[in-house]
Chain A
Amino acid sequence: MADARQSTAAADMARERLREAMVRLADGDSAALEEIYDATRVKLFGICFRILGDQKEAEDALQDVYINLWQRADRYDPSRASPISWLATFARNRAVDRLRTGKVRGGAVPVEEANPLPDQAPLADSLLVDAENAAQIHTCIATLDENTRSHIRSAFFEGYTYAQLAEAADVPLGTMKSWIRRGLQKLRTCLEASEAS
């Protein structure tokens, strides 16, 4: 019990520190960027690499993410999103944009090709994750059939559009749209129910 409470407190503190650094950055304190980088680079680089599948492209994307963050830190609204969720979304979107502008061939590497960190590597950012939200989205996604789930995951991680998903699965575009829309509708109902409770 005491351990659990302690680690929750540590996580709260880590999130709060990151939130404060984001606010300071928005106020023009560029020194805050290094703090944000230290706390989040491992997670965000993992995301960029997962999507782009190339070390150099992923590093360029990551550089892009932090430079953009520095330019537009005021876009982050602390009342709307946890800082790590917001940054993860930001990194994911930038990596997908990069994939689509054709700078890389496209398609992410299979997971096993990615080099996970050795155990002793810094994992400070795992403290930043909001465990409750994470559990809820996974619970809701688990209610979808496997087919739909995998297409939604491909959209998220591979940056596939409806048309690309339909082509990859060799089904008509309308079919793919129906599958995914039905899944999204179910997901929304499940997520909204969790918010209401």
Chain B
Amino acid sequence: MSEDKDIKRDDPMIAAEYALGLLEGEELLNARGKVATDADFAWRKEWWDNWFAPLTDEVAGMEPSAELWSRIAAEVNGAEATGSENSGAEVIDLTSRLRRWQWTAGITSAAAAVMLAVMVFAPGSGPLSSPSPTDTPQIAAADPLVAQVPIGDTGLRLDVTYIPESERMLVGAIGLTADGVHDHELWLVPADGSALQSLGVVAPGEVTAMELPADIARNLGSGVNLVLTREPIGGKPEGQDAGPVVAEGAFSQV
């Protein structure tokens, strides 16, 4: 049985598929892009989210460990929330995180100021007090990040632009053509050594806009690497290793 012709796969349908998480590969990439660029589609996706949300009501509530809140508070309040004996490690952790957070859109100025204050005041200054957010310098957070991923010796390249304020990324693959046998999938290489994160299958000859999920946006920063792998059509099959790396590049700040 093939896909029915009588079912119209219109935008509201695609929004439902995206909201449920049914899509993969290029379709997923397209849907992400559409949320970022098409207000009607974004509205419809939220419409589905709101309707699906009550399905979670049937899940039994559970109490997380008592110490979970202190872990969260520690991350939010910085070293202040942890004992002074281990604040050193915490500060290093926060400093590296701050570097990444500078690139993400969501950082409110107050939050940025607190984080920066932790970084500035922390080293060797003993127990940390709450610094006033007003006496901290500005962070230039919103400059776009760009990466060029040259494809072999072809002279062709991918142009990847990330705009922190919007959490949107543009992937330009102008000049590339599909070979009909392979797709190419773009991956972010998180600086912390954790697993590669898929940025989706590249659409040859197009510039694609997509909204990045927060767990990917968080890993973006200057110097962060991208790799392009060759995959079967549709992208890396679930449960299999990624294909060979055919190109790579790194982000730098404009």
Interface residues of A (CB under 8 A from B): 28, 30, 33-34, 37, 41-43, 45-47, 49-50, 55, 58-59, 62-64, 66-68, 70-72, 74-75, 80-82, 84-86, 88-89, 91-94, 96-98, 101-103, 114-117, 121-123, 125-126, 129-130, 133-134, 136-138, 141, 152-153, 155-157, 159-165, 172, 174-175, 177-178, 180-182, 184-185, 187-188, 191
Given known A-B contacts A43-B56, A103-B195, A163-B24, A122 and B106 have beta carbons under 8 A apart: no
> Are A85 and B54 closer than 8 Å at their CB atoms?
yes
> Are A74 and B23 closer than 8 Å at their CB atoms?
no
> Are B54 and A172 closer than 8 Å at their CB atoms?
no
Given known A-B contacts A89-B49, A156-B55, A182 and B7 have beta carbons under 8 A apart: yes
Which residue from A46, A152, A184 sits with its C-beta under 8 Å from B61?
A46
B contact residues, total (Cβ < 8 Å) = 57
Binds A, one of B10-18, B31-39, B169-177: B10-18
Min CB distance, B43 to chain A, in Å?
Answer: 8
What residues of chain A lie closer than 8 Å to B16, measured between beta carbons?
A: 184, 187-188
What residues of chain A lie closer than 8 Å to B86, measured between beta carbons?
A: none
Min CB distance, B114 to chain A, in Å?
Answer: 8
- Complex CA gap A136/B81 in Å reads 44
What residues of chain B lie closer than 8 Å to A152, measured between beta carbons?
A: 20
A-B contact pairs, 12 of them (CB 8 A): A34-B73, A55-B65, A70-B76, A71-B106, A85-B50, A86-B53, A101-B215, A153-B55, A180-B22, A181-B17, A187-B51, A188-B12
> Are A81 and B7 closer than 8 Å at their CB atoms?
no
> Are A114 and B62 closer than 8 Å at their CB atoms?
yes
B56-90 CB mask vs A (1 if < 8 Å, else 0) is 11011111110011011101110000000000000
Which residue from B21, B59, B110 sits with its C-beta under 8 Å from A28?
B110
Closest to A190 in B: B51
